[in-house]
A and B are shown apart, each in its own frame.
Chain A
Amino acid sequence: EPEVTQTPSHQVTQMGQEVILRCVPISNHLYFYWYRQILGQKVEFLVSFYNNEISEKSEIFDDQFSVERPDGSNFTLKIRSTKLEDSAMYFCASSEYLFRNQPQHFGDGTRLSIL
């Protein structure tokens, strides 16, 4: 069964450094998403992306964050200058159709630890 893959599974970075999290969505999916889960808290929406543009973003997704689809398969989340509070599990997801009420399929996540 097709799946969303994320790399790396764990990333340790010094505060202030840039980090790029990578995702390969399911191949025929059109919508892509990033969520994060701080330890012990709810899974939170960060951003949705369609047709090479951001569709929606949350208040968390400030100027330090950016997303990109550099080629036909990868979808990346960049944090420009990491802060301690960026430590979390980051999940990539994708869904097939444009319309509402389509299931989003999630990857296994990247655990980001900021020192």
Chain B
Amino acid sequence: SQELEQSPQSLIVQEGKNLTINCTSSKTLYGLYWYKQKYGEGLIFLMMLQKGGEEKSHEKITAKLDEKKQQSSLHITASQPSHAGIYLCGADVGAQKLVFGQGTRLTINP
């Protein structure tokens, strides 16, 4: 079965700083999804990556899928308090079923 490992598990950064969250898969990724979860709430879809080397951006968040399609990174530029939350990567393992990483808890200090 496919496993996703996220690093770091938690991250505390000063407002305005850049940060990166990594997601490593035990198998080749055919679809990689990034979600954000606010504490006690649902998952908000951020981005989907499918092709090796693909990079997508939305506002100050950029996600990349490496060429070998086994690792993805999420980069936030000039972090803001609104970026705080739990970031989850999810892999499409077929039959529209998603397998998730354990999440990275991001705290932004003013």
Chain A positions within 8 Å of B, measured between CB atoms, are 4, 6, 31, 33, 35, 41-45, 48, 55-56, 89, 91, 93, 95, 100-109, 111
Contacts and interface: CB of A to CB of B under 8 A. Distances in A.
A89 B41 CA distance: 9
B87 interface: no
Contacts of B44: 106
Nearest to A55: B95
Interface of B: 30-31, 33, 35, 40-45, 48, 50, 88, 90, 92, 94-103
B95 A56 contact: yes
Nearest to A44: B100
Contacts, number: 63
A106 B96 contact: no
A6 to B, nearest CB: 8
B100 A43 contact: yes
Contacts of A89: 40
Contact of A101 (B30, B42, B101, B103): B30
B42 A108 contact: yes
Nearest to B50: A101
Given A42-B101, A42-B103, A91-B43, A101 B95 contact: no
Contact of B35 (A6, A102, A106): A106
Contacts of A91: 42-43
Contacts of A103: 33, 45, 48
B42 A100 contact: no
A45 B99 contact: yes
Given A56-B95, A91-B43, A104-B33, 7 more contacts: A45-B98, A89-B40, A101-B50, A101-B92, A102-B96, A103-B33, A103-B45
Contacts of A108: 41-42
Contact of B43 (A31, A43, A111): A43
Contacts of B41: 108-109
19 contacts: A4-B42, A31-B96, A42-B102, A43-B90, A43-B98, A44-B100, A45-B98, A48-B96, A48-B97, A100-B94, A101-B30, A101-B48, A102-B96, A103-B33, A103-B45, A107-B42, A108-B42, A109-B41, A111-B40
